[in-house]
Amino acid sequence: MRRCFLVYLIALTFLSNLSAQPWRRHVETGSVIVQLKPEAVNNFEARIRTLNRASSDTSILNVGIRSFDALNRRYRATNMRRLFPYNAEFDAKHRRYGLHLWYEITIPDSEDPEAVAESYGNDENVQLSEPRLKIRRAGQPASFFSEDMTPNDPDFNKQWNFSNTGQTGGAPGADIRLLDAWEKVKTLGINNNNVIVAVIDDGVNYEHEDLRDNMWELNGNHGRNFVRRFDPYTIVPEEHATHVAGIIAAVSNNDIGVAGIAGSSDDGYGIKIMTVQILEGNSSVNSISPAFVYAADNGAVIAQNSWGYDRANYYQASDITAINYFINEAGKDPDGNPRPGTPMAGGIVIFAAGNDGRDDKWYPAYFDNVLAVAAINHYGKLAWYSNYGDWIDITAPGGDTREKEVGGVLSTSYKNDNANYYEYMQGTSMACPHVSGVAALILSVYGGEDFTPEMLRARLLNSTTPLAAFDPDNASKMGTGLLNASAALNFNNPPEFLELYENITLIPLNDIEIDLLDYVFDYENDPLSFIAQSDNEDVVEVSINENILTIKPISHGEANLRITVSDVFAGKAYANIQITVEQKYAPEKIEELLVYPIPVNDILRYSFILTERAAEINIRIVDSSGKTMIPIHTERNLVEGSYYYTTNTQNWYTGLYFIHYFKNGKLVETKKILKQ
């Protein structure tokens, strides 16, 4: 499929960059991205490594594969390099995710990348090809402007988004309950000091007076600049990322500027910001995808993203691959095991919903496995610019500076003449880092090697403040509600199973029901949900309707049931039930023939009981026309006891059959059989 769209930073307004060729509005010139077929990649790898060492930037690319080289000549391709840079330490893991299959091909700026991508996509060695997405900035309105838990940062009173008392003219309570959350942190204590948030954006001003103490650093670097291929560790500070980073982790209670959600070094949870630069001035990144892989491989477990594609209903496949890698592999070592001291085994990816004021499929926020964040103003109402819909996961303060500047979100920023700048901004760009900051706060308190993204997501989404009181008309379009940092930090005891059955013996077709609430205890009386799985569905099927477990024995044998109970914070408990379906199953009445299951699929079972010796039994099965389906089953000289038989009905036609039960030459009973 041909995809053409561009990526932008989410903020107040949107710019246009039109040129004579229509395709230039949506895609970057100079390269296309291909995903090679697994069976073809080995033919490329060694040749490309050799070519990149030996060839110039102007010679036509020649990989020695006829069909591919014909395209290289046609489009004057001059280079081909891995989209996800080689990393010896993580190479095996990268290959498991197919990252080694993605390449970027350099072409002249005059070529149409969409047409080139379509041509490469038709090559027998390529399974997918796409143009590079263009990245652009949006305009952003800007201005400068103890015993209790209120920090001493001089401008904290302007941060209505953290504690809204109506000080800016908004609605009291339309905030994230941050002061209460900080109080809980003091009570609960810090469990993990290794929380790293990757701000995938333009460059964070890592020397800002209110940020420098909370910047991540490795070998003197604070992140990576993916715009600069040959100078990747030079971070160029800009206002947007610096503003986002300040919401998450501006140093709190330092008598300077503003506070950040998870920036308090006094309380021992000053989390670290990794700046992953995908924008710089008017230059655009070669590809966003490697940014996620870099962040995961270097210890980040939260990916903060205040950007999105310019058009609805479009997305880029290489970005999906990278996002999934971050979710599955963040916090893990090259072998896929939790890193020692990691706050979470896996990662969470958080995206701003976008500023189009529409309900549509706005990717990447629309992806199911990321968190989509909408925005409110200081009245607690859906911000005029915010996208909305049933795909939104959660809402946070994004501000609104149209009425007055103080209705925006105040945070750290950057200006060329003032490295320690502060600024009001508005947008879902500002809402998104509120969720990232609270996620970091949660991990500081509860994080560890056994903490999962599912648990973090549950805490964020199941602790929100209902928005119906602030905005009844739009509350249903804004996810689970307004981010509530205090409720998200509530101490939670996971539920416990009491004395649930360990072993149950059943007979076929004899279903039983168990009310699981009778066997579970939850300290906080949280709403509970249950999942049940059978490891042998040919023997036992299970289903759950709310809290009622139904166990349906199908045939003789054994099965193990795994029962999982979860509370709203994804606290879990597990129980196992060993099910034995007896091989002996007799009718209740002496003269009765028992036939099961009805209706029958592939195997028909029947049984009877004898109380006298030397009996002769005949079983005859006929179809509706009287035709005998199997040879008459005769048993002579049977003694007292129960008898069990099976017949294969796999080749029977669908319809009605009859089974006749004769004892000592006398018809005792006839039963109907329905074949499915």
- 298: domain CATH number is 3.40.50.200
Mean pLDDT, residues 299-306 taken together: 97
**CATH code of residue 516:** 2.60.40.10
Quick one: pLDDT band at residue 509, thresholds 50, 70, 90?
low
Q: What is the pLDDT of residue 269?
A: 66
Supply φ then ψ for residue 609, to 5 degrees.
Answer: -120, 135
Selection from 373, 567, 321 nearest residue 454 by Cα: 567
Query: Looking at the domain assignment, is residue 1 inside a domain?
Result: no
Query: Looking at the domain assignment, is residue 348 inside a domain?
Result: yes
State the Cα–Cα distance between residues 111 and 299, nearest whole angstrom: 39
Please report which residue ranges of 336-478 form alpha helices under DSSP H: 428-446, 453-461
Share of the chain above pLDDT 70, in %: 89
Q: What is the pLDDT of residue 588?
A: 54
State the Cα–Cα distance between residues 78 and 129, nearest whole angstrom: 17
Q: Model confidence over 109-161: pLDDT tens digits?
A: 899 999 999 999 999 999 999 988 766 453 344 333 344 567 888 889 899 99
Mean pLDDT, residues 660-667 taken together: 87
Indicate whether 483 and 500 sit together in one domain.
no
Task: Tell how far CA 502 is from the center of its chain.
Answer: 34
Cross-strand bridge partners of residue 351: 305, 372
Query: Looking at the domain assignment, is residue 543 inside a domain?
Result: yes
At residue 193's C-alpha, the angle toward residues 189 and 197, to 5°, is 120
Indicate whether 187 and 320 sit together in one domain.
yes
End-of-domain residue from the set 73, 102, 136 = 136
Q: Active site residue: 240, 243, 434, 556, which one?
A: 240
Amino acid at 85: P
Q: Taking all residues of the chain, what is their mean pLDDT, rounded to a whole number?
A: 86
Query: Looking at the domain assignment, is residue 213 inside a domain?
Result: yes
Indicate whether 373 and 280 sit together in one domain.
yes
Indicate whether 204 and 322 sit together in one domain.
yes
State the Cα–Cα distance between residues 323 and 458, nearest whole angstrom: 19
Look at residue 249 and tell me whether its pLDDT is greater than 70. Answer: yes
Indicate whether 514 and 418 sit together in one domain.
no
Cis peptide before 364 (omega within 30 of 0): yes
Mean pLDDT, residues 64-84 taken together: 91
Indicate whether 417 and 475 sit together in one domain.
yes
Instruction: Output b/e per residue, 125-148; b: 16+ Cβ within 10 A.
Output: bbbbbbbbbbbbbbebbbeeeeee
Q: Which residue has the tokens 């039963």?
A: 671
Indicate whether 369 and 466 sit together in one domain.
yes
State the Cα–Cα distance between residues 372 and 283, nearest whole angstrom: 27
Quick one: pLDDT band at residue 357, thresholds 50, 70, 90?
very high
Query: Looking at the domain assignment, is residue 145 inside a domain?
Result: no
Mean pLDDT, residues 287-308 taken together: 94
Q: Model confidence over 403-454: pLDDT tens digits?
A: 889 999 999 999 887 889 999 999 999 999 999 999 999 999 999 999 999 9
Query: In the annotation, is 623 catalytic?
Result: no
Query: Looking at the domain assignment, is residue 150 inside a domain?
Result: no
Selection from 295, 311, 329, 339 nearest residue 196 by Cα: 295
Indicate whether 477 and 549 sit together in one domain.
no
Q: Which residue has the tokens 């007799």?
A: 586
Indicate whether 193 and 50 sit together in one domain.
no
Look at residue 475 and tell me whether its pLDDT is greater than 80. Answer: yes
Q: Active site residue: 123, 153, 201, 400, which one?
A: 201
Domain that includes residue 382, residue range: 156-488
Q: What is the pLDDT of residue 589?
A: 62
Indicate whether 44 and 123 sit together in one domain.
yes
| CA dist list (Å): 482 to 395, 443, 462, 469 | 5, 20, 10, 11
Query: In the annotation, is 201 catalytic?
Result: yes
| CA dist list (Å): 48 to 80, 82, 383 | 7, 9, 50
Look at residue 525 and tell me whether its pLDDT is greater than 90. Answer: no
End-of-domain residue from the set 83, 105, 136 = 136
Look at residue 266 and tell me whether its pLDDT is greater than 80. Answer: no
End-of-domain residue from the set 465, 488, 511 = 488
Quick one: pLDDT band at residue 602, thresholds 50, 70, 90?
confident
493 vs 117, residue with greater confidence: 117
Look at residue 165 and tell me whether its pLDDT is greater than 60. Answer: yes
Look at residue 584 and tell me whether its pLDDT is greater than 80. Answer: no
Is-contact 282 135, C-beta < 8 A?
no
Indicate whether 480 and 395 sit together in one domain.
yes
State the Cα–Cα distance between residues 189 and 200, nearest whole angstrom: 29
Query: In the annotation, is 240 catalytic?
Result: yes
Q: What is the pLDDT of residue 600?
A: 81
Query: Looking at the domain assignment, is residue 589 inside a domain?
Result: no
Indicate whether 318 and 443 sit together in one domain.
yes
Amino acid at 606: Y
Q: Which residue has the tokens 């498991």?
A: 96
Q: Active site residue: 429, 436, 534, 607, which one?
A: 429
Is-contact 83 319, C-beta < 8 A?
no
Secondary structure of 61-72 in HEC code, one letter for each residue: CCCCCHHHHHHH
Query: Looking at the domain assignment, is residue 142 inside a domain?
Result: no
Total number of domains in the chain:
4
| Helices 289-297 and 317-329: angle between axes, nearest 10 degrees | 10
Quick one: pLDDT band at residue 625, thresholds 50, 70, 90?
confident
Cα-Cα end-to-end distance for the chain? 43
Mean pLDDT, residues 541-546 taken together: 91
